[in-house]
Chains A and B, each alone.
Chain A
Amino acid sequence: MENVETLAIDCSDKATREVNNLIRKAADDGVKQVEILNTQARHNIGVGILKPIHLIYRGHVGYYTVGLCDNVTAEIHGTAGWGVGDNLLAGEVVVHGNAASSAAPSLRGGRVIVKGDSGPRSGVYLKSGDVIIGGNAGYMSGFMMQNGRLVICGNAAKGLGDSMYQGQIWLGGEADEIGSGVEQVDPEDGELDAILALLEQHKMKAPKAFKKLQSDRSLWNFNKHDFAAWKDAL
């Protein structure tokens, strides 16, 4: 398959493991891209791919799509189920529809872009890299994030960034409520420009303005005199 540019895989007559093995083999063989057909919202399609390859999902996908991958780029032409891009080490995943709960959990590098809305806990435990949401983000997005950037062009539901350690949240709209231990700060020079460049690169409409949010570090160390804040944090 060495000289194949694009390999098409039809999921309709294959077990999930078979599809993943075919993708892995294509990556081993140096195939540039794989077109995945008839995804039918199935779970775990394109998981554990550790060599560079480009995946094109023609349809809706289920849970943990592009999970546990390294150096993989992917475009999903449909909606994505829970945990899209789970634990991605490097690469880029673009969802052209909406994403369900826990989009890009524990992202360690690379980028996950959701052009539509994203469900609860988007960017949960974000460790590095960028999560960009074109629409609105659900409840407790950015919960316990440790680094990286979470960019939300629309509005956010309650508990945005709750218990975050480090990293940045860029919010274009309004949050129903900011989570515990989060403060709004002024952007540093060039930070906003970098975000806008990123949006432009992906042909995403930037909101009129962005608020920058980060950890106020109040939850970093336990302080018994501040018990109320801790009770509230959980």
Chain B
Amino acid sequence: MCGVGGIFYKTETHSQKTGEIAYRILDGIYRRGPDSTGVTLWHANDGNQLYVGVNCDNPSDGARVLERLDELGSIRQATDGKGYIRAVIDYLGAEADLVAAIEALDPSISVASVGRHLEVLKHMGGVANLDAQFDLKAYDGRLAMGLTRYATESGIDFTNGQPLTARANSDLAIMHNGHITNYHHLRSSYALKGYEFTTQNDSEVIPIMLIDEMSNGASFEDALNISIEKLDGCFTYIAVTNDCFALVKDSYAAKPAVVAETDELVALSSDPQSLREGVLADMEVWEPGAGEVHIWKM
């Protein structure tokens, strides 16, 4: 089933902490996806820092990953989430080299995300676990979008959890509720083009597809519209980049998502209840229609 949702503030100043609102929204859709929870956080990066997330489903590998990260750049901040490493490092080299150097450690270790603006956090179970490990509530930036996962197609572990990114290619993360029925066909065609897949999750084909379309010259908005044509199945997904985020619905509107927008914020969720309890009790909410793409600029 899965649930997607989150909060975006239109300006830097806001009345309630972003992380606390995101926590309540994700807690409200916990029952849609009790297997694991993940969020994408946006940071206003004005330095050399790179936000790195590493899947290491064997928790004892954490120390090796941190050691390798320290060799590659200087670590500003890092948390070993026992299965998932979150780190902020000063790094100026090519992101692809960093990914290769970390993944050379062990086949079970994979880079979940590298971003100049976007940071991906994942944990097993509900958002309370994620918060206990990574202190989500302390985040007070402009955007926190997440997913509660009900695994249907791949393992319940950190590697296969969402959000998913195209890794070394740019700041782009997606959170997808639904299933992609032509996944195997799409995956093999992208693999032939040289794209690397690190999970068995059908949703991983979405960021790869978006990156591929944009590398062929499509704008982000065009790429999202193309994805509605090319992806088969039911899907509602949120895509976040360094300067905007989007909500995309399949042509059948088979997966729910409601939106509430005020002068101050935009809040999304699979379930209106989580918005009412998580953000404001009395907001106008609306449900985007079939085959629609909605984009909000940072």
A residues contacting B by CB (< 8 A) are: 40-43, 60, 62, 79, 81-82, 98, 100-101, 117, 119-121, 138-140, 157-158
Whether the pair B256, A157 counts as a contact (CB closer than 8 A) is no
A79-B272 contact given A119-B253, A120-B253, A138-B253, CB 8 Å threshold: yes
Pull 6 A–B residue pairs with CB atoms less than 8 Å apart, ordered by A.
A40-B276, A62-B273, A98-B286, A119-B287, A139-B251, A139-B290
Whether the pair A41, B253 counts as a contact (CB closer than 8 A) is no
> Does B171 reach chain A (CB closer than 8 Å)?
no
Whether the pair A40, B281 counts as a contact (CB closer than 8 A) is yes
What residues of chain A lie closer than 8 Å to B286, measured between beta carbons?
Answer: 98, 117
> Does B258 reach chain A (CB closer than 8 Å)?
yes
A123→B251 CA distance, assembly (Å): 18
Whether the pair B290, A60 counts as a contact (CB closer than 8 A) is no
A62→B286 CA distance, assembly (Å): 13
Whether the pair A100, B273 counts as a contact (CB closer than 8 A) is no
| A99 nearest CB neighbor, chain B only | B287
A119→B2 CA distance, assembly (Å): 21
Whether the pair A101, B273 counts as a contact (CB closer than 8 A) is no
The number of A-B residue pairs with CB atoms under 8 Å apart is 59
A100→B258 CA distance, assembly (Å): 9
A40→B285 CA distance, assembly (Å): 13
A139-B272 contact given A40-B281, A98-B286, A157-B290, CB 8 Å threshold: no
Whether the pair B273, A138 counts as a contact (CB closer than 8 A) is no
**Nearest chain B CB to A203 CB, angstrom units:** 22
> Does B296 reach chain A (CB closer than 8 Å)?
no
Whether the pair A41, B256 counts as a contact (CB closer than 8 A) is no
Whether the pair B273, A41 counts as a contact (CB closer than 8 A) is yes
12 additional contacts, CB 8 Å, given A60-B276, A62-B272, A119-B253? Answer: A41-B275, A42-B273, A60-B285, A79-B272, A81-B273, A98-B286, A100-B287, A117-B286, A120-B289, A120-B290, A121-B253, A158-B290
Q: Which 9 A-B pairs have the closest CB atoms?
A: A139-B290, A120-B253, A41-B273, A41-B272, A41-B276, A100-B287, A119-B287, A62-B273, A40-B276
A140→B284 CA distance, assembly (Å): 24
Whether the pair A138, B290 counts as a contact (CB closer than 8 A) is yes
> Does B271 reach chain A (CB closer than 8 Å)?
yes
Whether the pair A138, B289 counts as a contact (CB closer than 8 A) is yes
Whether the pair A79, B285 counts as a contact (CB closer than 8 A) is yes
What residues of chain A lie closer than 8 Å to B284, measured between beta carbons?
Answer: 79
| A79 nearest CB neighbor, chain B only | B285
Whether the pair B276, A82 counts as a contact (CB closer than 8 A) is no
What residues of chain B lie closer than 8 Å to A158, measured between beta carbons?
Answer: 290
A145→B60 CA distance, assembly (Å): 58
